[in-house]
Amino acid sequence: MFTKLAVMWLTWQLRKDKGFYISYQANIAMAFYDEMSERYPQFRNNPSYDFLPTCNKAADRFMRLWIKR
């Protein structure tokens, strides 16, 4: 029960505070980026493929699904 209340409180805070929302989104994007660059090191220094835009889209989608009312 405590976990459910904590998630509800966190969701409420993310809806209320834009800076908090953006910082969570950025942390999620960087977690995706770190995982992708670790799994696919051959693309890490390849300028024709940049992971960051894909990671930002994934984090944005995750946050929108989480905060959806």
Residue 64 sits at the vertex; the CA angle it makes with 7 and 59, to the nearest 5 degrees, is 95
**Does the structure show a pLDDT above 80 at 18?**
yes
pLDDT (tens digit per residue) in 26-69:
999 999 988 888 888 887 777 777 888 889 999 999 999 999 85
Q: Where are the domains of the chain?
A: 2-67
The single-letter DSSP state of residue 62 is H
Tokens encoding 54: 């894909």
**Residue 37 has what pLDDT?**
84
DSSP secondary structure letters along 45-59: T-TT--HHHHHHHHH
**Residue 69 has what pLDDT?**
58
